[in-house]
């Protein structure tokens, strides 16, 4: 028997720049704060939820059970199970898909999807050579063997290794990869700065309207998204120096997402569970798909979602024009622009094995309350930020309204999903 | 500054939380008299802002999740310099040295957030008779805009001091040895870590030499760390407003491993920090929802 998996709502912390107001907060602290806000909003204290799925991209080894530990610190019943999932920047959407699938299969009747990241509290690890030396010393059978192993430690081994955002197979950072895509697709500086300015303006307007009042709970004295610059403009953004793509590059700190801290959650359930608990239903999860590209072979690192969207839309018999609202995660302004161009490129889409291009959308339907450039992008949290935001927007448009989510992720991967208002 | 009287007590308004150095040194000078004298005034500080970085450090050291609402033991830590201020007063025959922190009670009347400005006050009450000396109580209160949000009672036993009267009979829930449901490993530097966040400079928690001088084989962890750690272990079961009482039964030497047991009862949660084998209690704690 299959069920509808519906989004009831969400809660997140305000997002903030790395090293800012959440500098002292760990992933555990942030995720617990986001969960407790969700629990308070929907009266779930003491409730056993079917499952909580969460994750973080930058994770300490001691946090192997991060989500379960946050559940135990939260007001949920301690009998609520949890698991950790990770799919780079797609994590928060992948956890939503996991929970929705279990609900649709009748394995659980309620669930929470979540994601969190703290670039402030990122793990620092020892070098691989030191780690191997220490492991060897630990495994030594005699004191003499242990001393022999430890004697191999060299000063150069002691340099701590900060986590890197470089792709392991190419050695290029995500920004450097995107700079290649920006050039290949002929994305202009002006178009990128327009996307960035619009993101800030739309987010500022949504905050001013009170749109986020039932989606965000203040944390550590931060009342709203701290990266947001309501007064930014295309002119101000045009004055920034290039950050990626060399001195003549068009990608700047203004049209790229900032390293951020924050956590987000979404509450999903079967329609029956929502009705029993007298909770509102906003939208159902219709379908989802993941895809990957061969970026070590030269493909565009962040265009994985194009094939994912193409396959999912073909299966559903939909085109991108059928969507009332579209959320494309703004890893970089040029990612959004390249995705839109790729959707409308017959040859590119056929090259992905699709039957043809996906088409174009009305720009007024895109990221209507702003996206990651203005909100910030705590990697694993972004998907769980977008899901309740889009569900609320679709619900306001009326039953049957459809929304598309497209998220790029490291490793050349892409995650997409369709929500439909109920 | 001395001001008006409250309930027959003079009120001393301090401009800032007093520094610990000199007052602490005075509080460490042993008293020669067996007759107990105590300063009668109420010491207060207004408009105290909470340091979020120190709160985060406190939460990490004690095992709390960092939340907007602060642990009630954190409010105790904020009032602690006023304890030292009063015990370091020349009028106080009870000094920190030779006094044993035997029990502690506190009531959180409502959640207190880290951005609230606090008014702290502490005064001494007692002495009360005890079979090994005299008990004195440090009565603390935290107010926000005049509204009491936290009340605390810290009880010290001044051994050697004497007070007329019969010692009060205290009934304790019987202790039943059982296997601990959790084990905490307390590292050797835990006293130093807690000193950093509590600013309690008592060297018996950090120095082997000082600990030996007071009859302990090794440094002992602050009782209020153990109290905080026990509350942190219950974090998802703590009501929004509650009273908690602890009896410090035996000091915990550093480093060491101890056990923890907790059980829900109709009256609230009973929790014990116990020896590693669960045979003997080290700290006994009750938590009850506040009315």
Claim to verify: residue A23 and residue A111 sit in the same structural domain: yes
Which residue intervals of chain B are DSSP H helices? Answer: 21-27, 52-62, 72-87, 190-198, 208-213, 223-233
* Among candidate residues A209, A254, A259, A205, the one with its CA nearest the CA of residue A367: A205
CB contact under 8 A, A72 and B68: no
Alpha helices in A87-242 (DSSP H): 91-104, 128-139, 143-150, 174-184, 189-208, 234-238
pLDDT band at residue A162, thresholds of 50, 70 and 90?
Answer: low
Residues B206 and B65 both lie in one domain: no
Dihedral-angle region of residue A186 (phi above 0 means left; psi in -120 to 50 means alpha; beta otherwise): left
Contact present, A143 and A291 (Cβ < 8 Å): no
N- to C-terminal Cα distance for chain B? 36
In a domain, A244, yes or no: no
Tell me which residue of B232, B255, B244 sits closest to B284, measured CA to CA. B244
**B52, B65, B67 member nearest A24 (Cβ):** B52
Q: Kindly state whether residues A187 and A321 are assigned to the same domain.
A: yes
**How many A×B Cβ pairs under 8 Å?**
36
Q: How many CA atoms lie within 13 A of B27 on its CB side?
A: 23
Give the number of other Cβ atoms within 10 Å of residue A402's Cβ: 19
Q: B9 lies in which domain range?
A: 1-170
Token couple for A126: 């020892």
- How far apart are alpha carbons B213 and B202 in whole angstroms? 13
From the list B56, B65, B115, the residue facing A24 with the nearest CB is: B56
State whether B65 and A73 contact (CB < 8 Å).
Answer: yes
pLDDT at B201: 86
Contacts of A364 (CB under 8 A, 6+ apart): none
Interatomic CA distance for residues B58 and B65, integer angstroms:
10
Per the domain annotation, does A20 fall within a domain? yes
Do residue A57 and residue A195 come from a single domain?
A: no
Domain end call among A233, A250, A283: A283
- The answer to whether residue A377 is catalytic is yes
- Does residue A351 lie within any of the structural domains? yes
Q: Does B66 touch chain A (CB under 8 A)?
A: yes
- Point out the least confidently predicted range of A149-163, A300-314, B209-223, B231-245: A149-163
Domain assignment present for A236: no
Domain identity same for B19 and B139: yes
For residue A33, list chain B residues with Cβ-Cβ distance below 8 A.
Answer: 67-68
Q: Do B67 and A218 touch (CB under 8 A)?
A: no
Determine whether the interchain pair B52/A219 forms a contact, defined as Cβ–Cβ distance below 8 Å: no
* B163 and B179 housed in the same domain: no
Instruction: Tell me which residue in B68, B235, B236 faces A220 most closely, judged by beta carbons.
Output: B68
Indicate yes or no: CB of A221 within 8 angstroms of CB of B235. Answer: no
Write down the pLDDT at residue B3.
53
Same domain, A199 and A345: yes
Domain identity same for A30 and A72: yes
How far, in whole angstroms, is CA A249 from its chain's centroid?
A: 26
| Interchain contact, A220 vs B57, CB within 8 Å | no
pLDDT score for A126: 67
Residue B65 contacts A, CB cutoff 8 Å: yes
CA angle B239, B247, B225 (to 5 degrees): 70
CA A369 centroid distance within chain: 16
B84 and B182 inside one domain: no
A349 tagged catalytic:
no
Domains of chain B: total:
2
**How many degrees, rounded to 5, is the angle at CA B221 between CA A32 and CA B79?**
70
Min Cα–Cα distance to chain A from B68, Å: 5
Angle at Cα B25 formed by Cα B21 and Cα B29, nearest 5°? 170
Of B57, B66, B235, the CB nearest to A25: B66
* Distance from C-alpha of A249 to C-alpha of A334, rounded to nearest angstrom: 12
- Mapping DSSP to helix (H, G, I), strand (E, B) and coil, where does residue A330 land? coil
Distance, in angstroms, between B42 CA and closest chain A CA?
32
Is the residue at A234 inside a domain?
Answer: no
Give the nearest chain A residue to B55 (CA atoms).
A24
Give the three-class secondary structure for B46: strand
Check residue A344 and report its DSSP letter.
Answer: T
Co-location of B85 and B177 in the same domain:
no
- Is pLDDT at A1 greater than 70 in this prediction? no
Of A382, A383, A390, nearest to A420 by C-alpha is: A390
Chain B: residue nearest A32 by CA?
B65
**ipTM of this complex prediction, to 2 decimal places:** 0.87
Q: Do residues A195 and A94 both lie within one domain? A: no
CA separation for the pair A158, B237 (Å, rounded): 42
Same domain, B12 and B81: yes
**Residue B124: CATH number of its domain:** 3.10.129.10
CB A51 within 8 A of CB A81: yes
Q: CA–CA distance from B100 to each of A65, B43, B132, B216 (Å)?
A: 40, 22, 11, 13
Please give the tally of structural domains in chain A.
2
Residue-level pLDDT at B8: 79
Q: Does some domain include residue A229?
A: no
User: Based on the domain organization, do A192 and A318 belong to the same domain?
Assistant: yes
Place of tokens 């957030």: B113
Q: Which of A89, A201, A329, A395 is catalytic?
A: A89
Query: For residue A150, what pLDDT is reported?
Result: 81
Q: What is the mean pLDDT of residues A343-369?
A: 97
Please indicate whether, in this complex, the C-beta atoms of A24 and B67 are within 8 angstroms of each other.
no
Residues B183 and B99 in one domain: no
CA distance A257 to chain B (A): 26
Residue A278 and residue A327 in one domain: no
Establish if B67 touches chain A: CB-CB under 8 angstroms: yes
> Which chain A residues touch B53 with a CB distance below 8 Å?
24
Q: Check residue B1 and give its pLDDT.
A: 45
CATH number at residue A294: 3.40.47.10
- For chain A, the residues whose C-beta falls within 8 A of a C-beta of chain B are 24-26, 28-29, 32-33, 36, 72-76, 78, 218-221
- Domain with A79, as residue range(s), is 5-121+259-283
Residues B166 and B26 in one domain: yes
Contact B67 A29 (CB under 8 A): yes
B94 and B185 together in one domain: no
What is the chain B residue with the closest CA to A217? B68
Query: At which of A283, A316, A343 does a domain end?
Result: A283
Within 8 A of A28 by CB-CB distance, chain B residues are: 65
CA distance B85 to B83: 5
Is the same domain home to B120 and B212?
A: no
Tally of CA atoms within 13 A in the half-sphere of A192 that contains its CB: 29
Inter-residue contact B94 to B36 (CB < 8 Å):
yes
Contact list, A25 vs chain B (CB under 8 Å) = 56, 66
Residues in contact with B16: Cβ distance below 8 Å, sequence separation at least 6, in sequence order: B45
Does one domain contain both B129 and B1?
Answer: yes
Cβ within 8 Å of residue A366, ≥6 positions away:
A326, A327, A328, A336
What CA–CA distance (Å, rounded) separates B56 from B49? Answer: 14
With an 8 Å Cβ cutoff, are A218 and B68 in contact?
yes
Q: Is residue A325 part of a domain?
A: yes
CB contact under 8 A, B236 and A29: no
User: Does any domain span residue A385?
Assistant: yes
By Cβ distance, the residue of B68, B114, B236 closest to A73 is: B236
Q: How far apart are CA B7 and CA B26, in angstroms?
A: 28
Same domain, B207 and B158: no
CA atoms within 13 A on the CB side of A240: 22
Q: Is A89 a catalytic residue?
A: yes
Q: What pLDDT, on the 0 to 100 scale, is given for residue A160?
A: 62
The whole-number mean pLDDT for each consecutive block of 10 residues of chain B, a chain of 291 residues, reads 67 88 74 80 96 96 96 98 91 83 97 97 94 93 98 92 82 89 96 95 91 93 97 92 97 97 93 97 96 78
Decide if B53 and A33 are in contact by the 8 Å CB cutoff.
no
Of the pLDDT bands very low, low, confident and very high (cuts 50, 70, 90), residue A164 is low
Same domain membership, residue A180 and residue A111: no
**B133-144 and B147-159 as β-strands: parallel, antiparallel, unpaired?**
antiparallel
Tell me the C-alpha distance between A4 and A133, whole Å.
53
Last residue of a domain, one of B170, B200, B220: B170
């Amino acid at each position: 028997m299959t069920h509808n998996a519906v989004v009831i709502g969400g809660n997140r912390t305000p997002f903030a720049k790395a090293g800012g107001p959440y500098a002292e907060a760990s992933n555990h602290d942030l995720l617990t704060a986001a969960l407790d806000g969700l629990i308070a909003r929907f009266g779930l204290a003491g409730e056993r939820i079917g499952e909580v799925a969460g994750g973080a991209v930058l994770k300490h080894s001691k946090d192997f059970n991060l989500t379960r530990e946050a559940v135990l610190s939260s007001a949920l019943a301690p009998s609520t199970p949890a698991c950790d999932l990770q799919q780079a920047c797609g994590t928060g959407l992948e956890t939503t898909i996991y929970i929705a699938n279990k609900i649709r299969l009748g394995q659980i009747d309620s669930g929470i999807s979540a994601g969190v990241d703290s670039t402030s509290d990122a793990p620092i690890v020892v070098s691989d050579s030191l780690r191997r030396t220490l492991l060897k010393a630990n495994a030594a059978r005699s004191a003499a063997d242990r001393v022999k192993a430890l004697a191999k430690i060299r000063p150069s081994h002691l340099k701590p290794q900060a986590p890197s955002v470089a792709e392991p197979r190419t050695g290029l950072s995500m920004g450097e990869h995107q700079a290649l895509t920006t050039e290949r697709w002929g994305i202009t500086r002006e178009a990128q700065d327009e996307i960035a300015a619009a993101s800030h303006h739309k987010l500022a307007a949504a905050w001013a309207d009170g749109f986020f009042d039932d989606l965000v709970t203040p944390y550590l004295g931060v009342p709203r998204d701290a990266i947001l610059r309501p007064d930014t403009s295309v002119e101000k953004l045009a004055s920034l120096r290039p950050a990626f793509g060399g001195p003549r590059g068009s990608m700047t700190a203004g049209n790229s997402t900032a390293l951020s801290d924050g956590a987000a959650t979404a509450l999903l359930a079967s329609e029956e569970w929502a009705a029993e608990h007298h909770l509102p239903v906003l939208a159902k999860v219709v379908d989802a798909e993941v895809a990957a590209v061969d970026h070590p072979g030269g493909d565009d690192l962040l265009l994985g979602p194009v094939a994912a969207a193409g396959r999912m839309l073909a299966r559903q018999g939909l085109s991108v024009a059928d969507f009332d609202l579209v959320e494309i995660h703004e890893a970089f302004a040029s990612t959004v622009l390249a995705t839109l161009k790729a959707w409308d490129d017959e040859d590119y889409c056929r090259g992905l094995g699709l039957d043809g291009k996906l088409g174009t959308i009305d720009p007024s339907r895109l990221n209507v309350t702003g996206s990651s450039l203005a909100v910030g992008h705590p990697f694993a949290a972004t998907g769980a930020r977008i899901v309740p935001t889009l569900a609320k927007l679709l619900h306001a448009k009326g039953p049957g309204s459809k929304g598309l989510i497209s998220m790029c992720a490291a490793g050349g991967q892409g995650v997409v999903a369709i929500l439909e208002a109920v | 500054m001395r001001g008006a009287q409250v309930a027959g007590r003079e009120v001393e308004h301090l401009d800032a939380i007093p520094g610990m150095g000199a007052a602490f040194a005075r509080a460490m000078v042993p008293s020669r008299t067996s007759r107990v004298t105590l300063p009668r005034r109420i010491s207060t500080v207004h408009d105290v802002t909470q340091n979020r970085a120190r709160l985060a450090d406190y939460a990490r050291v004690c095992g709390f999740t960092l939340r907007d609402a602060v642990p009630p033991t954190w409010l105790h830590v904020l009032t602690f310099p006023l304890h030292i201020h009063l015990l370091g007063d020349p009028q106080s025959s009870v000094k920190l040295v030779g006094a044993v922190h035997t029990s502690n009670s506190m009531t959180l009347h409502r959640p207190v957030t880290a951005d609230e400005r606090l008014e702290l006050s502490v005064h001494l009450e007692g002495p009360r008779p005890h079979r090994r000396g005299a008990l004195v109580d440090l009565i603390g209160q935290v107010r926000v805009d005049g509204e009491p949000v936290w009340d605390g009672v810290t009880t010290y036993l001044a051994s050697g001091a004497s007070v007329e009267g019969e010692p009060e009979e205290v009934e304790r829930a019987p202790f039943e040895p059982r296997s601990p449901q959790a084990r905490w490993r307390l590292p050797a530097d835990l006293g130093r870590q807690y000193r950093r966040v509590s600013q309690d400079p008592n060297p018996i928690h950090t120095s082997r030499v000082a600990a030996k001088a007071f009859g302990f084989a090794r440094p002992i962890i602050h009782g209020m760390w153990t109290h905080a750690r026990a509350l942190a272990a219950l974090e998802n079961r703590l009501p929004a407003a509650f009273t908690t009482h602890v009896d410090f039964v035996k000091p915990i030497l550093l480093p060491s491993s101890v056990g923890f047991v907790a059980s829900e009862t109709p009256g609230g949660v009973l929790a014990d920090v116990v020896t590693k084998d669960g045979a003997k209690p080290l700290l006994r704690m009750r938590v009850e929802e506040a009315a």
